[in-house]
């Protein structure tokens, strides 16, 4: 069928004019995503939330920074703090990478606050500029996107949460996605690498970007993201060596990361760490599913990359995250709600294609 003119977007959505069978399959997938999102209601309450961010972890990270400001070395101070709070010291991943603690210990509290606010604000304005340039054409759509962007970034400007590594890595990932353009990926890869040096889970974003670049035929870019992964691997190996020498055989072992809590945990994490927290979970859960799907309607390579990033973190959380590691979902929080701005065009085009009943008739006339 012929593509319909866009409602909010600068151009028709990715689903404009697609075949009827494909449209119906896509709508069925969306219905399944919405249904699955309600599994968040079946989970027990996490041991923390984005609002209190896990009091024990905050005490841990604040104690590490305080110890370093007093002249202690990172691994020595971190090991002492982990033992004092009865945290496991093995495997080495129980130690966070030292990057953030070193920076925070070197800056005064006001400097840490200014840096945190600057990073989140920069990510917000970078994405507004990106959407104005090629995503949303109408003023009302841009205002809606700005509100949704603020709703996703609200947790990342809360001063009491400055010790949490995800609150620094997630805006860097968002900023990286905004900075990436076809043929201009070096800055984006550098920002992505910086995110991994703060929080290891950001490496999943590098994998997604390398895979997307390879799929799009951008071989040079794919190798660039692969090089960033290589640098991260070297840093992680050095970190593993240093952390293993700070833990003894009698120190506690982590229970592992095989939570198998399903996608509901990802939905809860987004609910806990965004403006959706003002809504009941039963109402917020389908909104998360619709927002994630909305990104796929943007007919731009960036839309697919954001969609792939959100899907990757949702999948990893579904399989590996425990209830007390809900904060993994923070990596997708800054941008996910903006997908709602792309949803009206996507749903309209999918519905129109699915209901298309036109048939091509061939009539042979014999004279």
For the stretch 100-117, pLDDT in tens is 999 999 999 999 999 999
> Percent of the chain at pLDDT above 90?
71
**What pTM, to 2 d.p., does this model score?**
0.91
pLDDT greater than 60 at residue 61: yes
Q: Give the model's pLDDT for residue 367.
A: 57
Residue of higher predicted confidence among 363 and 173: 173
Tokens (6 digits) for 120: 């989140």
Taking Cα atoms as reference points, which of 209, 168, 181, 188 lies closest to residue 331?
168
Query: Element (H or E) spanning 32, and its range?
Result: helix 20-37
Tell me the residue length of the chain.
Answer: 367
Q: Are 320 and 259 in contact (CB under 8 A)?
A: yes
Cβ partners under 8 Å of residue 166, min gap 6: 199, 201, 327, 328, 330, 331
Q: What is the mean pLDDT of the chain?
A: 89
For the stretch 245-257, pLDDT in tens is 998 888 888 876 6
pLDDT greater than 70 at residue 85: yes
For the stretch 179-234, pLDDT in tens is 998 889 999 999 999 999 999 999 999 999 999 999 999 999 999 999 999 999 99
Domain boundaries along the sequence of the chain: 22-354
How many angstroms separate the CA atoms of 157 and 330, rounded? 13
How many angstroms separate the CA atoms of 86 and 252, rounded? 8
Binned at pLDDT 50, 70 and 90, residue 361 comes out as low
Q: Give the model's pLDDT for residue 323.
A: 81
Q: Give the model's pLDDT for residue 218.
A: 94
Residue of higher predicted confidence among 337 and 161: 337
Q: Give the model's pLDDT for residue 47.
A: 45
How many angstroms separate the CA atoms of 357 and 5, rounded? 19
pLDDT greater than 50 at residue 51: no
For the stretch 324-354, pLDDT in tens is 788 888 999 999 999 999 999 999 999 999 8
Q: Give the model's pLDDT for residue 257.
A: 67
pLDDT greater than 90 at residue 366: no
């Amino acid at each position: 069928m012929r593509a319909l003119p866009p409602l909010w977007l600068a151009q028709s959505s990715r689903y404009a004019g697609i075949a009827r069978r494909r449209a119906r399959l896509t709508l069925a997938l969306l219905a399944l995503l919405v249904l699955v999102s309600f599994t968040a209601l079946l989970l027990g309450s996490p041991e923390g939330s984005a609002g209190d961010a896990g009091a024990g972890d905050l005490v841990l990270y604040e104690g590490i920074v305080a110890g370093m400001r007093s002249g202690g070395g990172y691994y020595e101070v971190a090991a002492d703090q982990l033992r004092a709070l009865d945290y496991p010291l093995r495997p080495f991943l129980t130690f966070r990478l030292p990057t953030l603690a070193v920076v925070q210990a070197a800056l005064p509290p006001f400097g840490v606050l200014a840096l945190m606010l600057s990073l989140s604000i920069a990510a917000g304005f970078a994405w507004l500029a990106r959407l104005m340039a090629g995503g949303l054409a109408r003023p009302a759509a841009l205002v809606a996107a700005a509100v949704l962007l603020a709703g996703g970034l609200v947790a990342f400007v809360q001063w009491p949460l400055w010790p949490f590594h995800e609150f620094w890595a997630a805006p860097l990932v968002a900023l990286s996605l905004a900075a990436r353009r076809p043929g201009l990926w070096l800055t984006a890869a550098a920002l992505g690498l910086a995110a991994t040096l703060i929080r290891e889970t950001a490496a999943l974003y590098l994998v997604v970007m390398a895979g997307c670049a390879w799929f799009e035929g951008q071989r040079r870019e794919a190798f660039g993201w692969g090089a960033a992964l290589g640098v991260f691997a070297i840093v992680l190996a050095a970190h593993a060596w240093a952390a293993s020498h700070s833990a003894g055989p009698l120190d506690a072992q982590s229970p592992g990361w095989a939570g198998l809590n399903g996608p509901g945990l990802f939905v809860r994490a987004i609910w806990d760490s965004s403006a959706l927290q003002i809504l009941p979970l039963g109402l917020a859960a389908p909104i998360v599913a619709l927002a994630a799907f909305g990104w796929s309607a943007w007919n731009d390579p960036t839309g697919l990359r954001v969609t792939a990033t959100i899907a990757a973190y949702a999948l990893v959380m579904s399989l590996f995250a425990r209830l007390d590691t809900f904060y993994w979902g923070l990596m997708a929080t800054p941008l996910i709600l903006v997908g709602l701005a792309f949803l009206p065009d996507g749903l309209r085009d999918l519905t129109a294609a699915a209901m298309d009943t036109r048939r091509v008739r061939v009539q042979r006339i014999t004279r």
